[in-house]
Structure 1
Amino acid sequence: MRIKALLLFLFFCGIVNSNFAQKKEIDPQRLIQLSGVAVSDGSLDPVPFITVYDRTLGRGVLADSYGFFSLVTYPGDSIIFNAFGYKPSTYIVPDTLSENRYSIIHLMEIDTINLPEITLYPWPTKEQFDAYIINMEPYDDAIRRAQRELSGESLAMVAAKLDADGSLAYGNAYNLRMSKLYTNGQLPVNNLFNPYSWAKLVQDWKQGKLKRQ
């Protein structure tokens, strides 16, 4: 008998709760359009993409990049705000509202500690750091690096890798044409029989300029 009475009581409670929930869902007079923006309590900057969750109804929305949000609630609902780097906070919709629209500015408390800036070095130990400082080149600054990159050898190496453009090809063709004017109507000059070239070759050989580096 007691079991039947308990079952009837639970069944009656379930019906009452179901009717109350249905009545709450279909009662348009109590709906509140809650809108607002979430900002940081320190700088008052908008908190983007914050989650706004109605714990009473079990649904929520996501704020935009400016921290603006809007959702439908009931008076007395508990609204939970969550954002990365901020402490979760709760807001209760007032039950004394006469209008069906309500706007708020919700402050979020920062939950992180800003650490001072640090500099990481590639030396694992103090001994390696001291050895690097002792053996480093103190004059290898930007000016010396620029002078080294603009030296004749560096520029010649870069120039050798570049392809000939239109102006350079025209200059080479023009110089070749001017050289042919000296032997126009006769055989080209052969330096193999040029005594001055042979004299310069012998001189360079005696001075050791022909040795391989």
Structure 2
Amino acid sequence: MKHVLAGLFGILLMSYAFVSFGQVDKRIIQFSGIVVGEDSTSGVAGVHIFVPKGGRGTTSNPYGYFSMPVLEKDSLIISAVGYEKMHLIIPEGKSDNYTVIIELLADTTFLPEVEIYPYPTEELLKEAILALEVPYQYQYKNMQQSLDQAMLNKMYRNLPMNAGNNYNYYVNQQMATYNSRFQTTSIPLLNPFAWGEFIKSLKRGDHKKRKK
């Protein structure tokens, strides 16, 4: 049994030495680059560049730049949250520096549609809609009352005389005084022109308009 364990241990040591020797034979390359998004105008920060077999890796800086030593034929995994995962193999026969620009594709996940209803039943929804008041509804009602035509007519008839009306009344009285200085004051009931104007006003219905 001891000989079997010793043989297995020897095989493991030889395998490890062979792998280590193979890795030493590979050239070390300084792998650098910039990771950008689909727009190719701004760098993507926090992108993981990892070599699974070697256990080595790094992340891109806030500008999307990264740099790390790798070996020829290393297989790298490039991943970031919100982007599709990429695989990259370091080629052979390149110089000691290998620079690339990596463009990541957005990983869009479409979720199923979720409908949210604030009311458990349709009847409650209808009651809420009917009870809903438009913003500033109180001001709208006051405005409608203030612009009522009957109310405006009533306010117009009760308005006191302003400065212009007083001036016109004074000028009319003054002209009447000048006209009647050298003659007796005429009586409106005996004025045929006044009667004619009165009959015209009746035909036009001026008295009905005043009642409104």
TM-score of the superposed pair, with normalisation by structure 1: 0.51
The equivalent of 1:8 in structure 2 is 7
Q: Secondary structure at the match of 2:123?
A: helix
Does 2:29 correspond to 1:32? yes
The letter for the 2-side match of 1:21 is S
- CA distance in 1: counterparts of 2:88 and 2:79, whole angstroms: 12
> What root-mean-square deviation, in Å, do the aligned CA atoms of Structure 1 and Structure 2 show?
3.8
Deviations 1:67-122 (A, max 9, x none): 2221110010011011112222210011121x111111122232223679999674
Alpha-carbon offset, residue 135 of structure 1: 0.8
The equivalent of 2:39 in structure 1 is 43
1:58-137 → structure 2 map (5 Å cutoff): 58-97=55-94, 99-113=95-109, 122-137=118-133
- CA distance in 2: counterparts of 1:8 and 1:115, whole angstroms: 56
Q: From the superposition, tell whether residues 114 and 12 of structure 1 become closer, same or farther in structure 2 (CA, over 3 Å).
A: closer
The letter for the 2-side match of 1:108 is L
The letter for the 2-side match of 1:110 is A
| Runs of 5+ consecutive residues of structure 2 not aligned to the other structure | 141-212
| Runs of 5+ consecutive residues of structure 1 not aligned to the other structure | 146-213
1:154-193 → structure 2 map (5 Å cutoff): none
Alpha-carbon offset, residue 6 of structure 1: 8.5
Deviations 1:164-187 (A, max 9, x none): xxxxxxxxxxxxxxxxxxxxxxxx
- CA distance in 2: counterparts of 1:47 and 1:125, whole angstroms: 48
Q: From the superposition, tell whether residues 124 and 103 of structure 1 become closer, same or farther in structure 2 (CA, over 3 Å).
A: farther
Give % identity. 28
Alignment length (residue pairs):
140
The letter for the 2-side match of 1:140 is Y
Q: Rg: which structure is higher? A: 2
Q: Secondary structure at the match of 1:66?
A: coil
The letter for the 1-side match of 2:89 is I
Alpha-carbon offset, residue 62 of structure 1: 1.6
Q: From the superposition, tell whether residues 53 and 144 of structure 1 become closer, same or farther in structure 2 (CA, over 3 Å).
A: farther
TM-score of the superposed pair, with normalisation by structure 2: 0.52
On the 8 A contact 1:50/1:83 being kept in 2, the answer is yes
